[in-house]
Structure 1
Amino acid sequence: MPVLNKILGDFIRVGSLTIIDAKGRRHVLAGAPGPTVTIRLHDTKLHRQLLLKPELYTGEAYMDGRLTIEQGTLRDLLTLYGLNRTSLRAQPIQKTMRAWVKRLRGLAPKNDVKRSKKNVEAHYDLSNEMYRLFLDEGLNYSCAYYRSPDDTLEAAQVNKLRHIAAKLDLKPGQKILDIGCGWGSMAIYLARACDVEVLGVTLSTQQHALATQRAAEAGLSDRVRFELRDYREVEGRFDRIVSVGMFEHVGLANLAPFFTKVRQLLTDDGVALLHSIGRKGGPGSTGAWVKKYIFPGGYAPALSETMTAIEQAKLWVTDVEIWRLHYAETLLAWGGRFAANRDKAAALLGERFCRMWEFYLLISEFSFRYGKHMVFHIQLTKNVDTLPLARDYITEAERRLQDGETVSAPPA
């Protein structure tokens, strides 16, 4: 514990952290005024584990009850980390650990079709009912677009659907491919608002079943269909391709092949729109706890990596937009709704799951609020003259779509 005490003492520059170790000894680490937190460790193994991999073992210990919070909340504890993360990462042992992770990141198993399905099932097939407890009415499990601080989660998610639809520059009767369609909100919105035909593909059996049901209930089965299929198995040509929150699952080795497949599926005058979590600061790696418990096989790529992969596929980048704090606000809303329905989540999946999910939502929020994560939109074409030269068409399309909306969100 003395070594850990020394390192954490240097780590805490803002706020106060009191650690009661597994032998009952109290260690007070304080900096400038800030959050005040007291935690108790119930396992002597944590004295060493927290030194080597603080994110992984803090998350595991909180899930298992081997780390409890006696003063403050989990939000306070993770806020303390967010405010002091730069000084922790500057510690020599952390620099060494990150260097090894970067060297080994290329050795991760490649997400082939079989592995990708297994990874998706691990997260998205938990329970549709659980996701209803914290998502918006339309079950949009991706970053919302807050045009105003007063927007509700429902309004912000519809803002996102509308904004993407406007960027696609849609024409009635066009064929659209939705890669990673989730529970179908994007496909249903496009078909209803823009009079197009949409094929959505997903690897989640529960998402596929509910999305199909929702399209039927909306009276859109003739224009919207969903298939349980990997995007690499899709054939044909599409006027437009959209992918929202799926690119983070393709894996490092599949960044360039993804865009090669997009090019293959696009018509010559086609347009694609990619909505994905990304990172500033260059290539990195997925956090150990998130990779183990939340998104196996997942990786949020740097913008530089993504652009390199696009160049290899010989596609035009016709528009790029960066969303900074929108996902932080989305995750804050999800966290509040999950907390309000925590007893229902525990009845469905147990107390340990609830602690895991709380930790996941908070560290995800803070990765956007204090860390290097953001969301990017990249618009792609095969030809240089496919879209109008000025971006005015996006704003005009958004206005038309908003005027035509008769419901707040596709029903779930």
Structure 2
Amino acid sequence: METKANKIYMLVIYAIFPIIASIIYIIEEPIPYLGSDELIHRIGSIFGIFAFIWMCFNIIIMTKIKIIETNYSLDWLNKFHMWTAVIAITLGSLHYPLIRGVGPIDPIQLRTGNFGWASFVLLMVLAKIFMSNNLVKYKAIGKLRLSAYIMKFKYGANKILHNIMMVGLVLIFYHSIISFTSASSLYMLGVYYFFFGITFIGWFYHKVIRRFRATSDPYAYRKSLWDDTSLDGVSEKNSKWAFRSLKQNPSLYPCLQCGTCTSKCPVSIVTKGNYNPRRNILATLFGYKDLLLNENDLGIWGCTDCHTCDEVCPQGIELTDLFASLKNQSIVLGKGPDYIIEQAKTIFDNAKAIPSQPAIERRRQDLGLPAVLEPDISEVQMLLTNLGIKDKFELRTSLNKS
């Protein structure tokens, strides 16, 4: 459970470890630089220490350790991860300019540091494009996502970003251990090996070991029931339809399948998961058009347009817009539950969802309330006819007869 205390614990951890490492560095720094040069060099090195340790911690967060997922919401973790990564990259950017004036730098150390820093910058750019909806309003982002979707990048985006992060960390780690300070101090060398070691263990566990524990530890590898494998043979894929759905709503792309939408959906709670927003998104991205549009009364029609899922989604995905689109497409095909069609017919015939009843009118009169004005039915019917509603009634009638 996420609490203010838990957030403070996380901040303390992020602060205390690099501070301890920086103190060790100051004590172990073997060269007695003089004057302002010494101060600038130390500040630059401390910036590098903070950047390295924070990147290690950020990778550990992304490995989905149970204690972290249990005590922190995904929304808060995403924001915390983003801001600490931005600060770490900024500190890393300042690291080299501050230390380069002190003395010559080994070319290998310089190249590994630069490539490592560039890896993290690339990671941030890709994460903003493909794993965040902050920039989704720009058409260029939507086009990039569509291109990536065609190239099957969608399903490997997380893996690719995680691996880029680890490659960058390996380069920064090597850059750090061949530095003059590390080469002259076993303590600093131990600091770098310690943080890199626990990070690599977490990453390796996340990528490799937990997959072999899927049967014994369901939490460790939460394979979706609606993944690519389990849906094969159930419904034919329609890649063009999936592409159009993503083009219409590019915010779907960074869905993490975290299940927050389903866990907070009031309909899902009442139906004990029989209505599943998360599953509908995944089925849309996989292109299972027939499966979704031919669903039973609950499949896509369980959505009541309460927008709860939109509010709680850590990725800012516009789920309700997708569900409305799916419903509209289902009606166009002459599908949809009977009660939806009957409700639409009631509105067409009476210009009201609930027709006026004599008992209600008498009660209003007894209470001294004015009579309800009758709507212009012909005007409403003209509007609905122009929208093609009448054609949908006829289509549904012909389908029922057949």
Measured against the shorter chain, the TM-score band is under 0.3
User: Higher helix share goes to which structure?
Assistant: 2
Q: Which has the higher contact order (CA 8 A, sep 6+)?
A: 1
Q: State which structure, 1 or 2, has the greater radius of gyration over its C-alpha atoms.
A: 2
User: Higher strand share goes to which structure?
Assistant: 1
User: Normalising to structure 1: TM-score of the pair?
Assistant: 0.25
User: Normalising to structure 2: TM-score of the pair?
Assistant: 0.25
